[in-house]
A = this chain, B = another copy of it.
Amino acid sequence: MGKRPDHWGWGFQKGRPTRQQVADLGRLAGERLGFEPAEVEDGVPLDAVELPPPRITAPDDLAEIVTDDTVERAGHTYGKAYRDIVRAFRGRYDNPPDLVARPRDEADVERVLAWAGDKHVAVIPYGGGTSVVGGVEARLDDGYAGAVSLDLRALDRVLEVDEVSGAARIQAGVLGPALEDQLRQYDLTLRHFPQSFEFSTLGGWVATRAGGHFATLYTHIDDLVESVRALTPSGWWESRRLPGSGAGPSPDRMLIGSEGILGVITEAWVRVRPRPTYRASATVHFDSFEKGAEAVRVIAQSGLHPSNCRLLDEAEGRLTGVSERPMLVLGFESADHPVDVWMERALEICGRKPTSSGSGAGGDWRSAFLAMPYLRDNLIQLGLVNDTFETAITWDKLGDLREAVRAAVPHATCRFTHVYPDGPAPYFTIVEPARRGFELEQWDELKARASDAVLAAGGTITHHHAVGRDHRPWYDRQRPEAFAQALRAAKTALDPGWILNPGTLISR
Protein backbone atom coordinates (compact mmCIF):
# COMPACT_ATOMS: atom_id res chain seq x y z
CA MET A 1 0.00 0.00 0.00
CA GLY A 2 2.96 2.36 0.44
CA LYS A 3 2.22 5.69 2.13
CA ARG A 4 -0.96 5.79 4.17
CA PRO A 5 -3.39 8.56 3.21
CA ASP A 6 -3.94 11.01 6.02
CA HIS A 7 -7.25 10.36 7.75
CA TRP A 8 -8.25 13.99 8.04
CA GLY A 9 -6.19 16.10 5.67
CA TRP A 10 -4.93 16.28 2.12
CA GLY A 11 -2.19 13.88 1.03
CA PHE A 12 -0.24 11.42 3.12
CA GLN A 13 0.65 11.29 6.82
CA LYS A 14 4.37 11.40 6.28
CA GLY A 15 4.08 14.59 4.25
CA ARG A 16 2.47 16.52 7.10
CA PRO A 17 4.57 19.47 8.34
CA THR A 18 5.81 19.77 11.92
CA ARG A 19 4.14 21.98 14.53
CA GLN A 20 6.96 24.48 14.13
CA GLN A 21 6.45 24.65 10.36
CA VAL A 22 2.73 25.19 10.88
CA ALA A 23 3.43 27.95 13.41
CA ASP A 24 5.76 29.63 10.92
CA LEU A 25 3.05 29.41 8.27
CA GLY A 26 0.66 30.98 10.79
CA ARG A 27 2.89 34.00 11.15
CA LEU A 28 3.12 34.38 7.35
CA ALA A 29 -0.64 33.97 6.88
CA GLY A 30 -1.30 36.40 9.71
CA GLU A 31 0.85 39.03 8.05
CA ARG A 32 -0.78 38.57 4.67
CA LEU A 33 -4.33 38.52 5.95
CA GLY A 34 -4.07 40.82 8.93
CA PHE A 35 -4.98 38.20 11.54
CA GLU A 36 -3.28 37.28 14.76
CA PRO A 37 -2.70 33.53 14.29
CA ALA A 38 -4.09 31.38 17.07
CA GLU A 39 -2.23 28.58 18.78
CA VAL A 40 -1.49 25.49 16.72
CA GLU A 41 -3.92 22.69 17.52
CA ASP A 42 -3.43 19.02 16.66
CA GLY A 43 -6.05 16.72 15.19
CA VAL A 44 -7.48 13.82 17.18
CA PRO A 45 -5.30 10.81 16.37
CA LEU A 46 -7.00 7.97 14.60
CA ASP A 47 -6.48 5.46 17.42
CA ALA A 48 -8.53 7.69 19.70
CA VAL A 49 -11.48 7.55 17.31
CA GLU A 50 -14.38 5.23 18.03
CA LEU A 51 -16.80 4.38 15.29
CA PRO A 52 -20.36 3.09 15.69
CA PRO A 53 -20.26 -0.69 15.06
CA PRO A 54 -21.11 -1.86 11.54
CA ARG A 55 -24.80 -2.66 11.09
CA ILE A 56 -24.22 -5.18 8.32
CA THR A 57 -21.81 -7.96 7.45
CA ALA A 58 -20.64 -9.02 4.03
CA PRO A 59 -21.60 -12.42 2.67
CA ASP A 60 -18.88 -15.05 2.30
CA ASP A 61 -18.45 -14.55 -1.43
CA LEU A 62 -17.50 -10.92 -0.84
CA ALA A 63 -15.20 -11.57 2.13
CA GLU A 64 -12.04 -11.13 0.07
CA ILE A 65 -12.89 -7.61 -1.02
CA VAL A 66 -14.96 -6.22 1.86
CA THR A 67 -13.69 -5.04 5.23
CA ASP A 68 -15.08 -3.45 8.38
CA ASP A 69 -11.66 -2.31 9.58
CA THR A 70 -11.87 0.94 11.56
CA VAL A 71 -9.08 2.70 9.70
CA GLU A 72 -10.68 1.87 6.38
CA ARG A 73 -14.13 2.94 7.52
CA ALA A 74 -12.83 6.21 8.98
CA GLY A 75 -10.81 6.87 5.83
CA HIS A 76 -13.95 6.48 3.71
CA THR A 77 -16.27 8.52 5.93
CA TYR A 78 -15.63 11.91 4.43
CA GLY A 79 -14.53 13.74 1.35
CA LYS A 80 -12.33 16.82 1.59
CA ALA A 81 -14.83 19.61 2.22
CA TYR A 82 -13.85 22.05 4.96
CA ARG A 83 -16.62 20.62 7.12
CA ASP A 84 -15.26 17.11 6.45
CA ILE A 85 -11.73 17.96 7.48
CA VAL A 86 -12.84 19.78 10.61
CA ARG A 87 -14.97 16.86 11.70
CA ALA A 88 -12.18 14.34 11.11
CA PHE A 89 -9.72 16.70 12.83
CA ARG A 90 -11.97 16.75 15.89
CA GLY A 91 -12.47 12.98 15.80
CA ARG A 92 -16.15 13.20 14.93
CA TYR A 93 -17.29 10.31 12.73
CA ASP A 94 -21.08 10.16 12.88
CA ASN A 95 -21.81 8.42 9.59
CA PRO A 96 -18.99 6.08 8.65
CA PRO A 97 -19.79 3.47 6.03
CA ASP A 98 -20.45 0.12 7.67
CA LEU A 99 -18.19 -1.62 5.21
CA VAL A 100 -15.61 -0.75 2.60
CA ALA A 101 -15.46 -2.81 -0.60
CA ARG A 102 -12.51 -2.79 -2.98
CA PRO A 103 -13.60 -4.54 -6.18
CA ARG A 104 -10.75 -6.00 -8.24
CA ASP A 105 -12.75 -6.11 -11.46
CA GLU A 106 -16.19 -5.54 -12.94
CA ALA A 107 -17.41 -8.95 -11.76
CA ASP A 108 -16.73 -7.82 -8.18
CA VAL A 109 -18.72 -4.64 -8.80
CA GLU A 110 -21.60 -6.76 -10.09
CA ARG A 111 -21.47 -8.94 -6.98
CA VAL A 112 -21.48 -5.96 -4.61
CA LEU A 113 -24.43 -4.33 -6.38
CA ALA A 114 -26.42 -7.57 -6.46
CA TRP A 115 -25.88 -8.17 -2.74
CA ALA A 116 -26.58 -4.52 -1.82
CA GLY A 117 -29.77 -4.49 -3.89
CA ASP A 118 -30.91 -7.66 -2.20
CA LYS A 119 -30.23 -6.40 1.34
CA HIS A 120 -31.17 -2.76 0.65
CA VAL A 121 -27.69 -1.52 1.46
CA ALA A 122 -26.70 1.94 0.21
CA VAL A 123 -23.71 1.85 -2.16
CA ILE A 124 -21.47 4.91 -2.28
CA PRO A 125 -19.10 4.89 -5.24
CA TYR A 126 -15.72 6.16 -4.04
CA GLY A 127 -12.84 7.24 -6.25
CA GLY A 128 -10.22 9.49 -4.74
CA GLY A 129 -12.48 10.71 -1.99
CA THR A 130 -11.76 14.36 -2.81
CA SER A 131 -15.40 15.48 -2.96
CA VAL A 132 -15.81 18.92 -1.38
CA VAL A 133 -19.61 18.72 -1.41
CA GLY A 134 -20.43 15.70 0.74
CA GLY A 135 -20.55 13.45 -2.31
CA VAL A 136 -19.20 10.33 -0.58
CA GLU A 137 -20.67 10.64 2.91
CA ALA A 138 -23.07 7.96 4.14
CA ARG A 139 -25.73 10.32 5.50
CA LEU A 140 -28.75 8.09 4.94
CA ASP A 141 -32.49 8.31 5.30
CA ASP A 142 -34.11 5.64 7.44
CA GLY A 143 -34.82 2.36 5.77
CA TYR A 144 -31.36 1.37 4.59
CA ALA A 145 -29.78 -1.64 6.26
CA GLY A 146 -26.43 0.14 6.13
CA ALA A 147 -23.91 1.57 3.72
CA VAL A 148 -20.93 0.24 1.82
CA SER A 149 -18.26 2.53 0.40
CA LEU A 150 -17.31 1.13 -3.01
CA ASP A 151 -13.67 2.07 -3.44
CA LEU A 152 -12.80 1.68 -7.12
CA ARG A 153 -9.08 2.43 -6.94
CA ALA A 154 -8.06 -1.12 -7.84
CA LEU A 155 -9.54 -0.51 -11.31
CA ASP A 156 -6.51 1.52 -12.25
CA ARG A 157 -5.37 0.47 -15.73
CA VAL A 158 -5.19 2.06 -19.15
CA LEU A 159 -6.66 -0.88 -21.08
CA GLU A 160 -6.32 0.16 -24.69
CA VAL A 161 -4.87 3.06 -26.67
CA ASP A 162 -5.97 4.10 -30.14
CA GLU A 163 -3.07 6.26 -31.23
CA VAL A 164 -4.59 7.10 -34.60
CA SER A 165 -7.80 8.58 -33.22
CA GLY A 166 -6.16 9.89 -30.07
CA ALA A 167 -8.28 7.98 -27.57
CA ALA A 168 -7.76 5.57 -24.69
CA ARG A 169 -9.95 3.13 -22.81
CA ILE A 170 -9.22 3.61 -19.13
CA GLN A 171 -10.56 2.11 -15.91
CA ALA A 172 -12.45 4.52 -13.72
CA GLY A 173 -10.51 4.02 -10.49
CA VAL A 174 -7.15 5.24 -11.74
CA LEU A 175 -5.69 8.30 -9.99
CA GLY A 176 -4.49 11.24 -12.09
CA PRO A 177 -0.74 10.62 -11.86
CA ALA A 178 -1.04 6.88 -12.58
CA LEU A 179 -3.24 7.63 -15.57
CA GLU A 180 -0.68 10.06 -16.98
CA ASP A 181 2.19 7.65 -16.26
CA GLN A 182 0.53 4.95 -18.33
CA LEU A 183 -0.28 7.32 -21.21
CA ARG A 184 3.27 8.66 -21.21
CA GLN A 185 4.47 5.37 -22.71
CA TYR A 186 2.57 6.35 -25.84
CA ASP A 187 3.71 9.99 -25.74
CA LEU A 188 0.10 10.91 -25.07
CA THR A 189 -1.65 12.82 -22.31
CA LEU A 190 -5.24 13.43 -21.19
CA ARG A 191 -4.09 16.81 -19.90
CA HIS A 192 -6.98 17.01 -17.47
CA PHE A 193 -5.55 18.52 -14.31
CA PRO A 194 -8.16 19.51 -11.76
CA GLN A 195 -6.72 20.87 -8.52
CA SER A 196 -7.41 17.47 -6.95
CA PHE A 197 -5.48 15.70 -9.74
CA GLU A 198 -3.03 13.94 -7.41
CA PHE A 199 -5.77 12.19 -5.42
CA SER A 200 -8.80 12.03 -7.71
CA THR A 201 -9.84 9.45 -10.30
CA LEU A 202 -11.09 9.39 -13.87
CA GLY A 203 -14.42 7.96 -12.71
CA GLY A 204 -14.76 10.72 -10.16
CA TRP A 205 -14.05 13.35 -12.81
CA VAL A 206 -16.73 11.90 -15.09
CA ALA A 207 -19.27 11.49 -12.28
CA THR A 208 -18.82 15.10 -11.14
CA ARG A 209 -18.21 16.94 -14.44
CA ALA A 210 -14.75 17.97 -13.32
CA GLY A 211 -13.19 21.10 -14.76
CA GLY A 212 -9.67 20.66 -15.97
CA HIS A 213 -6.45 22.27 -16.94
CA PHE A 214 -7.57 24.42 -19.84
CA ALA A 215 -9.06 27.84 -19.20
CA THR A 216 -10.96 27.83 -22.49
CA LEU A 217 -12.38 25.38 -25.02
CA TYR A 218 -12.63 21.69 -24.12
CA THR A 219 -11.85 21.72 -20.42
CA HIS A 220 -14.74 20.00 -18.65
CA ILE A 221 -14.27 16.24 -18.66
CA ASP A 222 -17.61 16.20 -20.52
CA ASP A 223 -15.80 17.18 -23.69
CA LEU A 224 -13.02 14.64 -23.27
CA VAL A 225 -15.29 11.61 -22.92
CA GLU A 226 -15.82 9.51 -26.04
CA SER A 227 -17.91 6.81 -24.34
CA VAL A 228 -18.70 5.55 -20.85
CA ARG A 229 -19.32 2.14 -19.34
CA ALA A 230 -21.25 1.92 -16.08
CA LEU A 231 -23.07 -0.71 -14.07
CA THR A 232 -26.60 0.19 -12.98
CA PRO A 233 -28.65 -2.05 -10.70
CA SER A 234 -30.64 -2.89 -13.86
CA GLY A 235 -27.63 -3.83 -15.98
CA TRP A 236 -24.75 -2.37 -17.96
CA TRP A 237 -24.87 1.04 -19.61
CA GLU A 238 -22.27 1.28 -22.35
CA SER A 239 -22.22 3.83 -25.10
CA ARG A 240 -20.63 3.48 -28.50
CA ARG A 241 -17.25 5.15 -29.10
CA LEU A 242 -18.06 8.09 -31.34
CA PRO A 243 -16.39 11.40 -32.16
CA GLY A 244 -19.83 13.00 -32.45
CA SER A 245 -23.44 11.97 -32.85
CA GLY A 246 -26.92 13.34 -33.30
CA ALA A 247 -28.76 10.16 -32.34
CA GLY A 248 -31.15 11.26 -29.62
CA PRO A 249 -30.13 12.98 -26.39
CA SER A 250 -26.55 12.07 -25.55
CA PRO A 251 -26.46 9.01 -23.26
CA ASP A 252 -23.00 10.06 -22.06
CA ARG A 253 -24.21 13.51 -21.03
CA MET A 254 -26.76 11.88 -18.77
CA LEU A 255 -24.13 9.80 -16.95
CA ILE A 256 -21.62 12.64 -16.85
CA GLY A 257 -22.46 14.56 -13.70
CA SER A 258 -24.73 11.82 -12.34
CA GLU A 259 -22.58 11.62 -9.18
CA GLY A 260 -23.05 7.90 -8.74
CA ILE A 261 -26.84 7.91 -8.53
CA LEU A 262 -27.50 6.15 -11.86
CA GLY A 263 -24.65 3.71 -12.08
CA VAL A 264 -21.10 2.87 -11.07
CA ILE A 265 -18.75 4.09 -13.79
CA THR A 266 -16.12 1.41 -14.44
CA GLU A 267 -14.50 2.54 -17.69
CA ALA A 268 -14.42 5.35 -20.19
CA TRP A 269 -12.91 6.00 -23.59
CA VAL A 270 -11.37 9.45 -23.35
CA ARG A 271 -9.77 11.77 -25.90
CA VAL A 272 -6.03 12.06 -25.44
CA ARG A 273 -3.46 14.17 -27.25
CA PRO A 274 0.26 14.56 -27.80
CA ARG A 275 2.16 16.52 -25.15
CA PRO A 276 2.55 20.20 -26.02
CA THR A 277 5.92 21.17 -27.48
CA TYR A 278 5.24 24.85 -28.16
CA ARG A 279 4.37 27.15 -25.29
CA ALA A 280 3.99 30.83 -24.57
CA SER A 281 3.19 32.31 -21.18
CA ALA A 282 2.84 35.82 -19.87
CA THR A 283 1.51 37.69 -16.89
CA VAL A 284 -0.20 41.02 -17.28
CA HIS A 285 -1.13 43.39 -14.47
CA PHE A 286 -4.18 45.64 -14.50
CA ASP A 287 -5.17 48.72 -12.53
CA SER A 288 -8.52 47.20 -11.67
CA PHE A 289 -10.21 43.82 -11.76
CA GLU A 290 -12.90 45.29 -14.03
CA LYS A 291 -10.33 46.27 -16.65
CA GLY A 292 -8.78 42.82 -16.46
CA ALA A 293 -12.18 41.17 -16.79
CA GLU A 294 -12.97 43.25 -19.86
CA ALA A 295 -9.73 42.14 -21.54
CA VAL A 296 -10.47 38.52 -20.62
CA ARG A 297 -13.96 38.83 -22.11
CA VAL A 298 -12.58 40.02 -25.43
CA ILE A 299 -9.95 37.25 -25.41
CA ALA A 300 -12.62 34.65 -24.59
CA GLN A 301 -14.69 35.86 -27.54
CA SER A 302 -11.73 36.17 -29.92
CA GLY A 303 -11.38 32.53 -30.94
CA LEU A 304 -7.75 32.49 -29.76
CA HIS A 305 -8.47 29.79 -27.16
CA PRO A 306 -5.65 30.31 -24.63
CA SER A 307 -4.87 27.24 -22.53
CA ASN A 308 -4.46 29.49 -19.51
CA CYS A 309 -6.40 32.70 -18.89
CA ARG A 310 -6.63 33.05 -15.12
CA LEU A 311 -7.43 36.48 -13.75
CA LEU A 312 -6.69 37.06 -10.04
CA ASP A 313 -8.05 39.99 -8.10
CA GLU A 314 -5.69 41.91 -5.79
CA ALA A 315 -6.88 40.02 -2.70
CA GLU A 316 -6.24 36.65 -4.37
CA GLY A 317 -2.85 37.89 -5.50
CA ARG A 318 -1.96 38.90 -1.97
CA LEU A 319 -3.33 35.69 -0.45
CA THR A 320 -1.16 33.56 -2.70
CA GLY A 321 1.74 35.99 -2.40
CA VAL A 322 2.21 36.48 -6.13
CA SER A 323 0.93 39.99 -6.81
CA GLU A 324 -0.30 43.18 -5.19
CA ARG A 325 -2.42 44.12 -8.22
CA PRO A 326 -5.00 42.28 -10.34
CA MET A 327 -3.03 39.90 -12.51
CA LEU A 328 -3.79 37.82 -15.56
CA VAL A 329 -1.85 34.60 -16.19
CA LEU A 330 -2.01 33.92 -19.93
CA GLY A 331 -0.79 30.81 -21.68
CA PHE A 332 -0.93 29.12 -25.06
CA GLU A 333 0.29 25.64 -25.88
CA SER A 334 0.36 23.37 -28.90
CA ALA A 335 1.89 20.12 -30.03
CA ASP A 336 1.58 21.25 -33.65
CA HIS A 337 2.68 24.84 -34.18
CA PRO A 338 4.36 27.83 -32.52
CA VAL A 339 1.83 29.94 -30.63
CA ASP A 340 3.58 33.31 -30.54
CA VAL A 341 1.15 34.91 -32.98
CA TRP A 342 -1.72 33.84 -30.72
CA MET A 343 -0.01 35.32 -27.66
CA GLU A 344 0.86 38.55 -29.46
CA ARG A 345 -2.77 39.10 -30.36
CA ALA A 346 -3.96 38.28 -26.81
CA LEU A 347 -1.49 40.78 -25.36
CA GLU A 348 -2.61 43.35 -27.91
CA ILE A 349 -6.16 42.86 -26.62
CA CYS A 350 -4.90 43.43 -23.08
CA GLY A 351 -3.57 46.76 -24.30
CA ARG A 352 -0.45 46.60 -22.17
CA LYS A 353 2.98 45.07 -22.01
CA PRO A 354 3.34 41.80 -20.10
CA THR A 355 5.00 42.00 -16.68
CA SER A 356 6.74 38.75 -17.42
CA SER A 357 6.73 36.38 -20.35
CA GLY A 358 8.33 33.15 -21.47
CA SER A 359 7.59 29.57 -20.54
CA GLY A 360 8.13 30.21 -16.79
CA ALA A 361 5.70 33.11 -16.42
CA GLY A 362 2.91 32.43 -13.98
CA GLY A 363 4.93 29.64 -12.36
CA ASP A 364 4.67 31.23 -8.89
CA TRP A 365 0.95 31.15 -9.12
CA ARG A 366 0.90 27.53 -10.37
CA SER A 367 2.97 26.40 -7.38
CA ALA A 368 0.67 28.26 -5.01
CA PHE A 369 -2.35 26.70 -6.75
CA LEU A 370 -1.11 23.14 -6.20
CA ALA A 371 -0.12 23.80 -2.58
CA MET A 372 -3.53 25.18 -1.62
CA PRO A 373 -5.26 21.95 -0.53
CA TYR A 374 -2.29 21.13 1.71
CA LEU A 375 -2.22 24.66 3.07
CA ARG A 376 -5.85 24.40 4.07
CA ASP A 377 -5.11 21.63 6.57
CA ASN A 378 -2.59 23.84 8.30
CA LEU A 379 -4.95 26.78 8.40
CA ILE A 380 -7.40 24.58 10.27
CA GLN A 381 -4.69 23.75 12.79
CA LEU A 382 -4.13 27.50 13.15
CA GLY A 383 -7.76 28.23 13.88
CA LEU A 384 -8.70 29.67 10.53
CA VAL A 385 -11.85 28.82 8.62
CA ASN A 386 -10.95 28.52 5.00
CA ASP A 387 -12.77 27.29 1.98
CA THR A 388 -13.64 28.03 -1.61
CA PHE A 389 -16.79 28.33 -3.63
CA GLU A 390 -17.20 28.80 -7.34
CA THR A 391 -19.75 29.50 -10.02
CA ALA A 392 -20.19 30.52 -13.64
CA ILE A 393 -22.11 33.55 -14.84
CA THR A 394 -22.75 35.38 -18.09
CA TRP A 395 -20.64 38.51 -18.63
CA ASP A 396 -23.59 40.87 -18.34
CA LYS A 397 -24.20 39.77 -14.74
CA LEU A 398 -20.59 39.59 -13.56
CA GLY A 399 -20.50 43.01 -11.90
CA ASP A 400 -23.68 42.35 -9.95
CA LEU A 401 -22.46 38.93 -8.89
CA ARG A 402 -19.19 40.32 -7.59
CA GLU A 403 -21.08 42.96 -5.62
CA ALA A 404 -23.52 40.44 -4.20
CA VAL A 405 -20.68 38.17 -3.09
CA ARG A 406 -18.78 41.11 -1.59
CA ALA A 407 -21.88 42.04 0.39
CA ALA A 408 -22.37 38.46 1.60
CA VAL A 409 -18.74 37.51 2.25
CA PRO A 410 -16.72 40.75 2.35
CA HIS A 411 -13.21 39.30 2.43
CA ALA A 412 -13.61 36.59 -0.24
CA THR A 413 -10.82 36.71 -2.81
CA CYS A 414 -11.65 36.03 -6.45
CA ARG A 415 -10.08 34.55 -9.54
CA PHE A 416 -11.41 33.20 -12.86
CA THR A 417 -10.64 29.51 -13.26
CA HIS A 418 -12.23 29.13 -16.70
CA VAL A 419 -13.64 31.53 -19.26
CA TYR A 420 -16.20 30.98 -21.99
CA PRO A 421 -17.27 33.31 -24.80
CA ASP A 422 -20.44 34.11 -22.87
CA GLY A 423 -19.03 34.32 -19.36
CA PRO A 424 -16.39 33.44 -16.78
CA ALA A 425 -16.23 30.92 -13.95
CA PRO A 426 -15.34 33.02 -10.87
CA TYR A 427 -13.79 31.16 -7.95
CA PHE A 428 -13.80 32.60 -4.44
CA THR A 429 -11.57 31.85 -1.44
CA ILE A 430 -12.43 32.68 2.14
CA VAL A 431 -10.04 32.72 5.09
CA GLU A 432 -11.25 34.06 8.42
CA PRO A 433 -10.57 33.42 12.12
CA ALA A 434 -12.53 30.41 13.36
CA ARG A 435 -14.72 30.29 16.42
CA ARG A 436 -12.92 27.24 17.70
CA GLY A 437 -15.25 24.38 18.41
CA PHE A 438 -17.98 26.09 16.39
CA GLU A 439 -16.33 25.90 12.99
CA LEU A 440 -19.15 23.87 11.45
CA GLU A 441 -21.84 26.33 12.43
CA GLN A 442 -19.66 29.18 11.27
CA TRP A 443 -18.98 27.48 7.96
CA ASP A 444 -22.60 26.47 7.35
CA GLU A 445 -23.68 30.04 7.88
CA LEU A 446 -20.92 31.36 5.59
CA LYS A 447 -21.70 28.80 2.92
CA ALA A 448 -25.39 29.63 2.99
CA ARG A 449 -24.72 33.36 2.65
CA ALA A 450 -22.35 32.84 -0.26
CA SER A 451 -24.60 30.34 -2.02
CA ASP A 452 -27.69 32.50 -1.64
CA ALA A 453 -25.79 35.42 -3.16
CA VAL A 454 -24.54 33.37 -6.11
CA LEU A 455 -27.98 31.94 -6.86
CA ALA A 456 -29.74 35.29 -6.56
CA ALA A 457 -27.23 36.89 -8.92
CA GLY A 458 -27.97 34.30 -11.62
CA GLY A 459 -24.96 32.01 -11.22
CA THR A 460 -24.79 28.23 -10.98
CA ILE A 461 -24.31 26.70 -7.55
CA THR A 462 -21.27 24.94 -8.95
CA HIS A 463 -19.13 25.12 -12.06
CA HIS A 464 -16.93 22.14 -11.24
CA HIS A 465 -17.26 21.17 -7.55
CA ALA A 466 -20.44 19.11 -8.12
CA VAL A 467 -23.64 19.03 -6.06
CA GLY A 468 -23.24 16.16 -3.64
CA ARG A 469 -25.26 16.56 -0.45
CA ASP A 470 -23.95 19.97 0.62
CA HIS A 471 -25.16 21.91 -2.44
CA ARG A 472 -28.60 20.33 -2.51
CA PRO A 473 -30.67 23.25 -1.16
CA TRP A 474 -29.36 25.53 -3.91
CA TYR A 475 -29.23 22.94 -6.65
CA ASP A 476 -32.86 22.11 -5.96
CA ARG A 477 -33.74 25.76 -6.66
CA GLN A 478 -31.51 25.97 -9.71
CA ARG A 479 -32.45 22.95 -11.79
CA PRO A 480 -35.65 22.94 -13.85
CA GLU A 481 -38.41 21.18 -11.93
CA ALA A 482 -39.41 19.16 -15.01
CA PHE A 483 -35.82 17.94 -15.33
CA ALA A 484 -35.90 16.84 -11.69
CA GLN A 485 -39.00 14.79 -12.46
CA ALA A 486 -37.25 13.23 -15.44
CA LEU A 487 -34.10 12.44 -13.46
CA ARG A 488 -36.07 11.00 -10.55
CA ALA A 489 -37.98 8.72 -12.90
CA ALA A 490 -34.80 7.68 -14.69
CA LYS A 491 -33.16 6.80 -11.40
CA THR A 492 -36.16 4.83 -10.21
CA ALA A 493 -36.20 2.86 -13.46
CA LEU A 494 -32.52 1.93 -13.19
CA ASP A 495 -32.20 1.74 -9.41
CA PRO A 496 -35.63 0.81 -8.05
CA GLY A 497 -34.30 0.48 -4.48
CA TRP A 498 -32.48 3.84 -4.65
CA ILE A 499 -29.37 2.12 -3.30
CA LEU A 500 -26.88 4.18 -5.34
CA ASN A 501 -25.49 7.19 -3.45
CA PRO A 502 -28.87 8.18 -1.98
CA GLY A 503 -29.23 11.81 -0.95
CA THR A 504 -26.87 13.07 -3.63
CA LEU A 505 -28.35 15.24 -6.40
CA ILE A 506 -31.97 14.23 -5.84
CA SER A 507 -34.39 12.69 -3.37
CA ARG A 508 -37.19 10.26 -3.95
Contact = CB atoms under 8 A, between A and B. Distances in A.
Interface of A: 162, 164-167, 208-211, 217, 220, 222, 226, 230, 232, 234-251, 253-259, 262-263, 271, 273, 297, 301-305, 334-337, 341, 345, 392-396, 418, 420-425, 458-467, 471, 475, 478-483, 485-490, 492-494, 505-506
A78 B370 CA distance: 58
Given A246-B465, A262-B486, A482-B494, 20 more contacts: A162-B395, A165-B421, A165-B423, A210-B246, A220-B244, A220-B246, A222-B250, A235-B482, A242-B394, A243-B421, A246-B464, A246-B466, A248-B505, A302-B334, A303-B334, A305-B305, A341-B341, A485-B490, A485-B494, A489-B492
Contacts of A258: 248-249
A490 B494 contact: no
A242 B393 contact: yes
* Copies of this chain, whole number: 2
A121 to B, nearest CB: 21
A251 B395 CA distance: 22
19 contacts: A162-B394, A165-B394, A167-B422, A240-B460, A243-B394, A246-B460, A247-B471, A247-B479, A248-B479, A249-B253, A251-B480, A301-B336, A303-B337, A337-B345, A485-B494, A486-B493, A486-B494, A489-B489, A489-B492
Nearest to A226: B422
A167 to B, nearest CB: 5
A424 B164 CA distance: 12
Contacts of A243: 392-394, 420-425
A258 B482 CA distance: 14
Contacts of A481: 235-237
A242 B345 contact: no
Given A273-B421, A422-B271, A493-B488, A483 B251 contact: yes
Nearest to A461: B247
Contact of A490 (B240, B273, B489): B489
A396 B162 contact: yes
Question: Most chain-B CB neighbours within 10 Å: which of A236, A238, A422, A487?
Answer: A422
Contacts of A237: 480-483
B244 A420 contact: yes
A-B residue pairs, 3 tightest by C-beta = A243-B423, A489-B493, A237-B482
A257 B244 CA distance: 13
Given A242-B460, A337-B345, A394-B167, A467 B254 contact: no
A211 B246 contact: yes
Contacts of A273: 301, 421
